[in-house]
Amino acid sequence: MPSTDDHSLIILKALLKAQDGFVSGNALAEQLGVSRVSVWGRMEQLRSQGFEFEAIRRKGYRISKKPDSLNALLTRAYLKESADYPELLFLKTIDSTNDHASRLLANDYEAPFIVISNQQTLGRGRMGRTWHSPPSSNLYMSFGSRPYVQPNRMQLFTLWMGVYVARHLREQLCLKVGVKWPNDLFFDGQKLGGMLTEARVDADSLRELVFGIGLNVNQTNDDWPKELKQTATSLRELCGEEQDLNKTAALLIEAIFTGYQAFLAGNIRTTFEDMWPEFDILNGQLIEAETRQGNLQGVAKGLDNRGSLILKTTEGKLATLNSGEVHLKRR
Ligand code: BTN
């Protein structure tokens, strides 16, 4: 039996498909095989979630306002129908979507799944940093899975996923988003998002994998904490207008899922070598790298076949970085 949510989803999809056009109550009732009163009831339920509808006699309904914050039905309605997506778990608030995904995996929750939260109270970045996670403006998502892959295949995973996300953003928003080694989404020298991959490995095989991503969507420059004002940006700042958070959430879900499937499908190394240069924002740039042995300055020269960053130091030596932090230097 279809649930009321299934009916609301079908209504939303029909209304979104009609774009600025109207869909008649009769057409919706027919599509669902229910009465017009029942359609009206579903629309009331959608109104209670922040949707508004314009109704015109003999023409029908159209959406006049969508919810500003994360809405499970609207995100689902935006998803392309062709894929068999993992379970989507929408939360109002959580400490960290990565932590929640890890807890679900540890408790034998069926995978794969994607946790999406409207807010994080303890959002985490790399190296123990805090990830700024206010409600309703940005996206916080974690993909949890139990893949059968050798741990050494994971070296390129975060960068591979970054390329997929950046490519989706380029295609949909015409923004030349790039990837900054080892885990950032960048545009024109500013950070647009970050990725955090965490895995549990037992006796040489991967048991649990969590891929977390934070994407700055509608944050405005005035709202960033002081320390992020110069370095962070959002889609809203870059596109010059507020973005549909749920549409962007659907885009991110599609990118994560297609990226993950392609990663599992075969030998990604050669494909990655072909794709990477187009997204590599560091190549040929003067950078400073923080290493355990101290800071190194030089020009980035791409990646080796394990995903380590190659740096030609100012002394003319080649250095290879497996992990760490790099900063772009203005020449
Ligand atoms: C970084 O740039 O240091 C990585 C940031 C990763 C942030 C995301 S937001 C969703 C997921 N949950 C977390 O606590 N962190 C990741």
The 10s digit of each residue's pLDDT in 225-264 is 999 999 999 999 999 999 999 999 999 999 999 999 999 9
**Residue 2 confidence (pLDDT) above 70:** no
For residue 214, the ligand 1 atom closest to its alpha carbon is 9
Which of 21, 34, 289 has its CA nearest to residue 10?
34
Structure tokens at 109: 């929750």
Share of the chain above pLDDT 70, in %: 98
| Strands laid side by side in the 184-187 sheet | 87-91, 113-117, 139-145, 205-215, 190-202, 184-187, 178-180
Half-sphere exposure of 275 (CA within 13 A, CB side): 19
**Residue 330 confidence (pLDDT) above 80:** no
Grade residue 161 by pLDDT with cuts at 50, 70 and 90.
Answer: very high
For residue 99, the ligand 1 atom closest to its alpha carbon is 14
Half-sphere exposure of 54 (CA within 13 A, CB side): 10
pLDDT, tens digit, 9 for 90 and up, residues 23-37: 999 999 999 999 989
At 94, the amino acid letter reads I
Instruction: Name the residue with the closest Cα to ligand 1, atom 3.
Output: 125
233 burial class (0-12, 13-18, 19+ CB within 10 angstroms)? buried
Tokens 């960033």 map to which residue?
224
In this prediction, residue 21 carries a pLDDT of: 79
CB atoms within 10 A of CB 270: 10
* Position with higher pLDDT, 267 vs 280: 280
Mean pLDDT of 6-34: 91
**Residue 146 confidence (pLDDT) above 80:** yes
250 Cα distance to chain centroid:
9
How far apart, in whole angstroms, are the C-alpha atoms of residue 287 and residue 309? 11
**Residue 204 confidence (pLDDT) above 90:** no
Q: How big is the chain, counted in residues?
A: 331
162 ligand 1 Cβ < 6 A: no
Specify whether the CB–CB gap between 293 and 319 falls below 8 A.
Answer: no
Tokens 């039996």 map to which residue?
1
**Residue 267 confidence (pLDDT) above 70:** yes
**Residue 331 confidence (pLDDT) above 80:** no
Tokens 């932590």 map to which residue?
99
138 ligand 1 Cβ < 6 A: no
How far apart, in whole angstroms, are the C-alpha atoms of residue 138 and residue 117? 10
Cis peptide upstream of residue 182 (ω within 30 degrees of 0): yes
Average confidence score pLDDT of the chain: 93
In this prediction, residue 168 carries a pLDDT of: 96
263 ligand 1 Cβ < 6 A: no
In this prediction, residue 102 carries a pLDDT of: 98
Q: 26-50 burial, b if ≥16 CB within 10 A, otherwise e?
A: eebbeebeeeeeebeebbeebeeee
How far apart, in whole angstroms, are the C-alpha atoms of residue 252 and residue 263? 16
How far apart, in whole angstroms, are the C-alpha atoms of residue 11 and residue 32? 8
CB atoms within 10 A of CB 25: 17
117 ligand 1 Cβ < 6 A: no
Grade residue 5 by pLDDT with cuts at 50, 70 and 90.
Answer: confident
**Residue 1 confidence (pLDDT) above 60:** no
